[in-house]
Amino acid sequence: MTEEELYALLDARGIAYEVFHHQAVKTVAEADALVPRIAIPTKNLFLRDDKKRHFFVVVANTATEIDLKHLHRQLGSRRLSFASPEQLMERLGLVQGSVTPFGILNDDSREVTLVFDEGLAHQRFDAHPMVNTATMFVEMDDVLPLFEEHGNQVVFCDLTCQTGPEAR
């Protein structure tokens, strides 16, 4: 799915969004310097377990410190590390710096788990629309059904404490 196809899908489903176009950004710091803060700013990580069998897109507030040792216990997975740019392209059709929860819409195998920090529940957040030259602002309650209907597992968990995930 391309950026334009994502907009068309959101339009067809009546999902409201705003888009801010900007130069390419690859880090949270670069985005902070360019993107207006009209929603919760997020960071997106593409992770894999140590056997390279399970993959995760993790979405959290940019201020949240994510401890991968803690997160793997939260998710009930093996130890986690960052997936390679090649795995990102193969699984989600995205290039490094463009990780987004919308990337799971490119996961035809429905094997990538989408993990949201529970602090994003019922909130407006930002995400790349498949490219790192734009930032989109959407309501979680509007896009969550889209993610769930796609068939990937969607999990909300508190990335800052030791409680277990709440599967949706």
- Residues 9-35 pLDDT 10s: 999 999 999 999 999 998 888 888 888
pTM over 0.75: yes
Task: CATH number of the domain at 35, please.
Answer: 3.90.960.10
97 in a structural domain: yes
Amino acid at 145: P
Domain count, the chain: 1
Reported residue count of the chain is: 168
167 in a structural domain: no
- CA-based nearest residue to 64, from 136, 161, 153: 161
165 in a structural domain: no
* pLDDT class of 163 with cuts at 50, 70, 90: very low
118 in a structural domain: yes
- CA-based nearest residue to 29, from 129, 114, 97: 97
Range of the domain at 32: 3-160
Q: Say how far residue 128 (Cα) sits from the centre of its chain.
A: 9
122 in a structural domain: yes
149 in a structural domain: yes
166 in a structural domain: no
pLDDT at 48 over 90: yes
116 in a structural domain: yes
CA distance 129 to 9: 12
